[in-house]
Every structure is written in structure tokens, then in C-alpha cells.
Amino acid sequence: MTAKTTRQSIVEDLSEPIAEIVKRYPKRRSAIMPALYLAQEKYGCIDETTYQAISQILDVPEIWVFELASFYTLYNRKEIGKYHLQLCTNVPCMLRGTYDLMEHLQSRLGIKNGETSKDGLFTLTAVECIGSCDVAPAMMINQSYHNNLSKEQLDKILDGLSQAENVL
Amino acid sequence: MSELVLMKNFAHPDSAGIDHYEKTGGYLGLKKALKDFSPDQVIDTVKTSNLRGRGGAGFPTGVKWSFVPKDDDKPHYLCCNADEGEPGTFKDRLLMERDPHQVIEGMIIAAYAIKAPVAYIYIRGEYGLSIEKISQAIKAAHKKGYLGQNILNSGFSHDIYVHIGAGAYICGEETALLESIEGRRAQPKLKPPFPAVAGLYECPTVINNVETFACVSHIFSRGVEWFTSIGPEDAPGPRLFGLSGQLKNPGVYELPMGISLGELVNNYGGGPLKGKFKAVIPGGVSAPMIPLAGLDVKMNFADLAAADSMLGSAAVIALDETASIPAVARRITEFFSHESCGKCAPCREGLPWASKILNRIESGKGLPGDPQQLEFLCGGIFGNSFCALGDGAAWALRATLKHFRHEYDALITQKTIPVCDRTSA
């Protein structure tokens, strides 16, 4: 969330798309989850100002917004890196060596699980099953899936991302 | 099974497109249902087919639909549970990504049966491609007149909306899923009233799994007799088995139920990665694991229940001889602990406690009384938690203590480091 974002600017940005979403449901409260996604997509993460703006747009209590933002894990309440590495650590991936990959990522990036690299590029998160068990170990980088991972492949992927950043 | 039904289009480059779907018999079932069947006849047909839910519990689908009141003045709702989160399960993702129209078609037939003008498909937020493919399929179905006002001149109107989940395993529990659509924290609600009577927005609601809806499409396009001719009498129809873990050929396999677990992991899964299998989890991590000696158990509801486990989501996770059972049990328990919604104390307090003990044992600091303490905790959680999450967690952990107590004891007394631990998996 940038410093320039205010409740009013969010209300201006999101009122129209949220009004579209509200039409799908008989009650406005149902539109809070999709509204939080809209805000996250636009601003990267969500915070109190977002809750206040959504509460104003939907005319619902702010606590209704906050209780969802704080319950569901896909809402980012703090800033995350440009690339969010979400490594699955559940049983099928564990049996295929995902803990080795986690150690490798931690040492390569110099961060621990849950942290963001100093350059703001990478956030590393151990996640629960992402439904890619047939091609384990698996990881999501933002919305895209990477499967059948090995340390070498991880290095290749990260090298590619870092290079792309240097070119920019 | 020689003929693929649910997966028949998977390999086609345009498998998700409506044109290919129609070319291969798609939407024929819907046309028949709307033209030749009354809503009640649709319910009776699904009852006769003995289709059982593919999400986990295996409840008879037609019976579930028949609980919806006939003469009330409330709107009825239909929901598709596409919040696939049971570790080891990935079949619904493949169905939505590769052949979404069979899911949509089944949903429209179900909506017609229970007279629901609106349906929501609740897809987990991680499944970006599923969300995209299902959304495209809904649009395409609208264009062809399979959705919207007065579908195929039947007088029946229906709309489907996608509701995107945001990372909560508990949403797979049907009342929690409904709470989530209503814009609340996903915490299960007391039953009764069952959703069929008071579900979404306090209105009669039917919730079924993705694969269940796909089966409905085929029941109407090809008939009940064809459907019941596949597999055992009490569990008919095609079924998707997801194979993962330490076996040579992980993947999704479409087979009739009733096949033995051993045949599944050896003949289809290609056998263990190393040495012999140690145990196999037959239905997602909440299904208690079956040790090698029990692998002749048949993969259907009754036989697995008799073996003190369950078919669940038919997600088969194989453990070979390198796997450490206490490590796997620790990971399973940590998962449930993380996903506990926090509503009831046995689950919310018991699972983090059990995780702590399991971590202690795994790191070589286990105490002699730890296995008994875990048993005690399981006893306190099982049967006392609000929903199946706590029960499943305790059930799965108990099975590891029952079958592999020696591994726990070895870790506690000899501080043996398991072969498959955190660092050397």
C-alpha cells in the first residue's frame, strides 16, 4: 500500500467494480471477500485503510471486513515481495523432498520461511497442499505453478527471475 | 476400466472448449433432463443411480437432493464445493481445468431438480487456472443458451457465479463453505438444520463436489443402467483416484471403485520408489493409513470403513520404507492444527498440543509417556470436536500410533533419527 492511498482514493477506485460484484449476491456482506481480492490485486496488500474503504462502499461494519481479512490466509496484510514463493510442505511434497528445497531456498535467499528478501523481490512462505501432489514437490510463484522441483530447477527459476529484474 | 468417462477429453488440446464438449456428447444429458424429466424425476433418477458423493463423506446424492422442501416459498440455492484442499487431492482441479463443462452441465441438471435459480461454485483461491476455465465455460454455456433465462425453452432459468476462496481448508466442510459465501469466517454450523432445509442465506441449499456433478452429466446422457454397470453395486460409477507420494507413477487414474488398494499402488502407481511400501493413506490425510499387510482392502466405502479408514476423496498417498511415520504424523497434525477454524476447544487446543509433542519426539527429545499422552489427546478430540476436521486429525494420528508404535518408541528410547526427517527427505 503506498502512502498516497487514502480511504477516499480507494473508495473512488473500487466503488464501481464492487457494485458489479454486489449484484451476484442477495446480501452485500457476501461481496466482502471478492472486494478484498480486488483491493489486494490493485494495491498489493490490504490494511486498515482498505477495510474502512470497503466498509464504506458496502455499507457494512468495518469489523466484518477485518474478520475476513484476518481469517483467510490468501489475504496479505503486510507487504510481500514482488515474487511470492509459496512452497508446498504438505505430506505428498514432503515425501518427495520438499524440506530439502526449503533449506535450499532459505540459504540461497538468505531469508527464513515467512520473510522477504532485502531487495523486496522475494517472499518465502511454506504453504499447505496446493493440489499438485501428482507432480510433487510443487511451488507457486504468485499465481503460477512450478512442479516436479529439484534444487537445480529452483536455481534456474530464481536465476531467470533475478536476471529479468536486472534487465529492467 | 477400458473406457474413460470423466477423463475422456483430458488429452484433447481443446478439452475445455464447449465445441469439443458438445461434439463428444456434451449437454445431451441436460437436454434430456429438461425435455423428458420433471424435477422430481431427475431426483428419482439420481437416487436410482446410487451415485454417492465424491467429496469425502460418500453420501447418496439423490437422497441429499430429496431433502429439499417441495412447497416452500424461499429461493433454493445450489453450491459446488470446489475448495479442494485435502492433502493428496488434485482430481477436481484437473476436472475444472481440462473439462469444466461436464461440471457445469451437472450443476444445471441439479439446479433444475431442486429448482434453484442461482448456483455458486466455490473454488479455492490457489486454483487460478480452474477459476479461469470455469469462468470461460460459464460464459460459453450462456452464449449457447444452456444458462440464463428460459434454458432451451424449458421455462427453467439459471445462473452460476464463481465465488473464490481465500485459503481455508475448513471451507470444504459444507456449512463452513456456506458461511464463507455469506461473507463470514468459515466456521462450521450446528446440524440440524441441514443445509437442504436451512443453508445459504437460511434457504434450502444443496452442496455437492465437483466430481459428483460431473457424474450427474453422464448419468443423464448415458442412462442409469450404464452408470450402475460400472463398479460395485453399493458404489457405482467412475471414480478418480489421485496417486501421490513415494510411488513410481503418480497421477490421476479413472477406475471403478472396488479395486484393491494394493493393485492401485502397484499396478497403476508402479510400486514403491524404494524397497517396499510401508503404508498407504487411502483417502487424503484425514483417512487413517493402512499398513502394508492391509493393502488387499478394496477401495470402496464399506470395505475401507471396515478396515477402520475411509475412501474420503480417493487421494492415495503412498509411503515407502524410507518414510518416517512419526514425521508424517507430525506433518499431518501440524496441517490440521494450522487449519483448525478455532471454534471448538478440543480441535483448537488439542491439535497444537499434539503437534508440540510430535515435534519433540521427532527431534529426539521425546519423553517415555509421550505416546500415551498422544493417545489421551486423540481420545479428547475424537468425537468431541464440532466438525469432521478434529475427528479426522485424531483418527489419522491414532492409526499411526496403532500400527507404528515401534517407530515412536525407537525415537524416544534410542533417539534414532528417522530416515525421512526434516533435512534428509
Q: Identify whether B272 is preceded by a cis peptide bond (ω within 30 of 0).
A: no
Share of chain B above pLDDT 70, in %: 97
Residue A77 lies in a domain: no
pLDDT bracket for residue B422 (50, 70, 90): very low
Positive or negative CA dihedral for B340, B345, B347, B349? Answer: positive
CATH number at residue B389: 1.20.1440.230
Task: For cell 464447449, name the residue.
Answer: B18
User: Torsion over CA of B371, B372, B375 and B377, rounded to 10 degrees?
Assistant: -100
- Note whether B148 and B101 are same-domain residues: yes
Q: B393 to chain A, minimum CA–CA distance in Å?
A: 14
With 50 as the cut, is the pLDDT of residue B423 above it?
A: no
- Note whether B312 and B339 are same-domain residues: no
CA-nearest residue to B316 within chain A is: A92
pLDDT bracket for residue B117 (50, 70, 90): very high
With 60 as the cut, is the pLDDT of residue B418 above it?
A: no
The mean pLDDT value of chain B amounts to: 95
B165 has a chain A CB within 8 A of its CB: yes
User: Which three-class secondary structure state does DSSP give residue A1?
Assistant: coil
- Note whether B111 and B157 are same-domain residues: yes
Tell me which residue range forms the domain holding A154: 83-167
CB contact under 8 A, B184 and A94: no
Residue A78 lies in a domain: no
Question: Burial level of A141, CB count in 10 A (0-12/13-18/19+)?
Answer: middle
Positive or negative CA dihedral for B422, A84, A39, B135? Answer: negative
CB B406 within 8 A of CB B412: no
B352 has a chain A CB within 8 A of its CB: no
Residue A75 lies in a domain: no
Positive or negative CA dihedral for B79, B82, B83, B88? Answer: positive
CA-nearest residue to B323 within chain A is: A95
Question: What is d(CA B168, CA A73) in angstroms, rounded to the nearest whole number?
Answer: 7
Q: Which of B182, B281, B339 sits opposite A29 (nearest CB)?
A: B182
- Note whether B137 and B33 are same-domain residues: yes
Which tens digit of pLDDT belongs to each residue from B309-362?
Answer: 999 999 999 999 999 999 999 999 999 999 999 999 999 999 999 999 999 999
CB contact under 8 A, B126 and A75: no
With 50 as the cut, is the pLDDT of residue B27 above it?
A: yes
Question: Burial level of B32, CB count in 10 A (0-12/13-18/19+)?
Answer: middle
Tell me which residue range forms the domain holding B297: 238-320
Question: Can you give the C-alpha Rg of chain A in angstroms?
Answer: 18
- Note whether A61 and A128 are same-domain residues: no
CB contact under 8 A, B87 and A133: yes
The mean pLDDT value of chain A amounts to: 95
Q: Which residues of B touch A74 (CB under 8 A)?
A: 125-126, 165-167
A68 has a chain B CB within 8 A of its CB: yes
Q: Which of A46, A69, A92 is the last residue of a domain?
A: A69
Q: Which residues of B touch A94 (CB under 8 A)?
A: 327-328, 331, 420, 425
Range name among A31-35, B34-38, B119-123, B418-422 with the lowest pLDDT average: B418-422
The tally of domains found in chain A comes to 2
Q: Which residues of B touch A89 (CB under 8 A)?
A: 331
State the average pLDDT over residues B109-118. 98
Cell of B296: 488387499
CA-nearest residue to B160 within chain A is: A24
Q: A137 to chain B, minimum CA–CA distance in Å?
A: 10
Burial code (b: 16+ CB inside 10 Å, e: under 16) for B221-248 equals beebeebbebbbeebbbbbbbbbbbbbe
pLDDT bracket for residue A166 (50, 70, 90): confident
CB B101 within 8 A of CB B136: no
Residue B10 lies in a domain: no
Share of chain B above pLDDT 90, in %: 96
Residue A112 lies in a domain: yes
Q: Which of B88, B128, B164 sits opposite A34 (nearest CB)?
A: B164
Q: Which residues of A touch B126 (CB under 8 A)?
A: 74, 130-131, 140
Could you tell me how many CB contacts below 8 A there are between chain A and chain B?
147
With 90 as the cut, is the pLDDT of residue B200 above it?
A: yes
State residue B414's pLDDT score. 84
- Note whether B77 and B214 are same-domain residues: yes
CB B395 within 8 A of CB B288: yes
- Note whether A54 and A123 are same-domain residues: no
Question: What is d(CA B53, CA B60) in angstroms, rounded to the nearest whole number?
Answer: 6
A136 has a chain B CB within 8 A of its CB: yes
Which tens digit of pLDDT belongs to each residue from B350-399?
Answer: 999 999 999 999 999 999 999 999 999 999 999 999 999 999 999 999 99
- Note whether B171 and B96 are same-domain residues: yes
Q: Which of B320, B339, B373 is the last residue of a domain?
A: B320
- Note whether A161 and A94 are same-domain residues: yes
Which tens digit of pLDDT belongs to each residue from B83-105?
Answer: 999 999 999 999 999 999 999 99
- Number of C-beta neighbours around residue A134 at 10 A: 22
- Note whether A110 and A139 are same-domain residues: yes
Residue B262 lies in a domain: yes
Residue B421 lies in a domain: no
CA-nearest residue to B248 within chain A is: A134
- Note whether A162 and A95 are same-domain residues: yes
pLDDT bracket for residue B203 (50, 70, 90): very high
B348 has a chain A CB within 8 A of its CB: no
- Note whether A92 and A151 are same-domain residues: yes
- Note whether B139 and B65 are same-domain residues: yes
Share of chain A above pLDDT 90, in %: 92
- Note whether B214 and B126 are same-domain residues: yes
Question: What is d(CA B242, CA B258) in angstroms, rounded to the nearest whole number?
Answer: 15
Q: Which of A21, A38, A69 is the last residue of a domain?
A: A69
Query: Going by C-beta distance under 8 Å and a sequence separation of 6 or more, which residues neighbour residue B188?
Result: B170, B173, B175, B176, B179, B341, B343, B386, B387
pLDDT bracket for residue B273 (50, 70, 90): very high
With 60 as the cut, is the pLDDT of residue B189 above it?
A: yes
- Note whether B354 and B397 are same-domain residues: yes
CATH number at residue B284: 3.10.20.600
- Note whether B348 and B391 are same-domain residues: yes
State residue A126's pLDDT score. 97
- Note whether B145 and B53 are same-domain residues: yes
CATH number at residue A22: 1.10.10
Question: Which of A134, A143, A149 to mutate to probe the B interface, most B CBs <10 Å?
Answer: A134
Q: Which of B286, B305, B320 is the last residue of a domain?
A: B320
Stated length of chain B: 425
CA-nearest residue to A31 within chain B is: B183
State residue A165's pLDDT score. 85
Which tens digit of pLDDT belongs to each residue from B224-241?
Answer: 999 999 999 999 999 999
Residue B140 lies in a domain: yes
CB contact under 8 A, A129 and B242: no
Alpha-carbon distances, residue B330 vs B88, B400, B421 (angstroms): 16, 10, 10
Q: Which of B75, B185, B250 sits opposite A71 (nearest CB)?
A: B185
Closest CA to A56 of A11, A1, A102: A11
- Note whether A99 and A121 are same-domain residues: yes
Q: Which residues of B touch A90 (CB under 8 A)?
A: 87, 285, 331, 335
Q: Which of A23, A42, A69 is the last residue of a domain?
A: A69
With 60 as the cut, is the pLDDT of residue B299 above it?
A: yes
| Reduced 3-state DSSP string for chain B | CCCCCCCCCCCCCCCCCHHHHHHCCCCHHHHHHHHHCCHHHHHHHHHHHCCECCCCCCCEHHHHHHCCCCCCCCCCEEEEEECCCCCCCCHHHHHHHHCHHHHHHHHHHHHHHHCCCEEEEEECCCCHHHHHHHHHHHHHHHHCCCCECCHHHCCCCEEEEEEECCCCHHHHCHHHHHHHHCCCCCCCCCCCCCCCCCCHHHCCEEEEEHHHHHHHHHHHHHCHHHHHCCCCCCCCCEEEEEEEECECCCEEEEEECCCEHHHHHHHHCCCECCCCEEEEECCCCCCCCEEHHHCCCECCHHHHHHCCCCCCCCEEEEEECCCCHHHHHHHHHHHHHHHCCCCCHHHHHHHHHHHHHHHHHHCCCCCCCHHHHHHHHHHHHCCCCCCHHHHHHHHHHHHHHHHCHHHHHHHHHCCCCCCCCCCCC
pTM of the complete model = 0.95
State residue B417's pLDDT score. 57
ipTM, interface predicted TM-score of the complex:
0.95
Q: Which of A27, A132, A136 sits opposite B201 (nearest CB)?
A: A27
State the average pLDDT over residues A113-125. 95
State residue B199's pLDDT score. 97
The tally of domains found in chain B comes to 3
* CB within 8 Å of chain B, chain A residues 32-51: 32-34, 36-37
Q: Which residues of A touch B86 (CB under 8 A)?
A: 129
Residue A145 lies in a domain: yes
Closest CA to B62 of B46, B49, B78, B48: B46
CATH number at residue B168: 3.40.50.11540
State the average pLDDT over residues B129-154. 98
Q: How many CA atoms lie within 13 A of B222 on its CB side?
A: 20
Q: A14 to chain B, minimum CA–CA distance in Å?
A: 18
